[in-house]
């Protein structure tokens, strides 16, 4: 049997696996966290722990809710209506736009989609990203990324404009102080309040 975990800090995963080893339980073999070109906070500690302990990284939000797959000016229903993604990305939209513009530039230069550029970058960092798809061309674009190799220069170009972000979403509430506060989670028109 294999088990994975989602949305934890590196120290929490390390403690859980140390306890599992001590007690003879199955250790976590994968982590699903928030990681993409415009949100790279997993690189601070989690990526190092996973590399050292051979833990698979299978991040969600690989395309930042569509932001890394749309040319500037393009939109979609999800970009317009996903209130949870807006909570995660709207505050940093200006600084993130620099990277999104670079993804678009490289995609145009290479004659591929922005999805392919974004996922090709991510595939150099993780085991396998979780990619949401509602249309066949979403799956096809994601599959093409496997064969796309970015140069070291292209990788640097995509990465150098990154500005560290505050934790958002679930991870922002993964603290003792935050656990005592009221949180409102939203998935489209449905709102869920927790205490």
Predicted confidence band of residue 186 (pLDDT cuts 50, 70, 90): very low
- Mean pLDDT across 9-32: 97
Number of domains in the chain: 1
The CATH number given to whatever domain includes residue 19 is: 3.20.20.100
For the whole model, what pTM was predicted? 0.85
pLDDT tens for 89-116 read 888 989 999 999 999 999 999 999 999 9
Q: Where in the sequence is the domain holding 184, given as residue range(s)?
A: 3-194
The 10s digit of each residue's pLDDT in 59-70 is: 999 999 889 998
How far is residue 149's CA from residue 30's CA, in Å, rounded to a whole number? 25
């Amino acid at each position: 049997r294999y088990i994975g975990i989602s949305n934890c800090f590196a120290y929490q995963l390390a403690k859980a696996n140390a306890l599992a080893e001590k007690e003879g339980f199955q250790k976590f073999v994968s982590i699903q966290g928030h990681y993409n070109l415009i949100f790279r906070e997993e690189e601070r500690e989690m990526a190092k722990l996973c590399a050292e302990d051979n833990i698979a990284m299978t991040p969600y939000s690989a395309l930042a809710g569509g932001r890394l797959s749309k040319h500037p000016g393009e939109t979609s229903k999800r970009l317009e209506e996903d209130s949870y993604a807006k909570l995660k990305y709207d505050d940093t939209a200006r600084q993130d736009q620099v990277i999104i513009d670079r993804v678009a530039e490289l995609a145009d230069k290479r004659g591929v989609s922005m999805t392919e550029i974004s996922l090709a970058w991510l595939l150099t960092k993780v085991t396998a990203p979780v990619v949401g798809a509602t249309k066949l061309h979403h799956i096809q674009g994601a599959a093409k990324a496997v064969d796309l190799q970015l140069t070291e220069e292209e990788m640097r170009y995509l990465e150098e404009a990154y500005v560290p972000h505050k934790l958002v979403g679930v991870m922002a509430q993964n603290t003792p102080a935050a656990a005592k506060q009221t949180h409102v989670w939203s998935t489209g028109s449905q709102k869920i309040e927790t205490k």
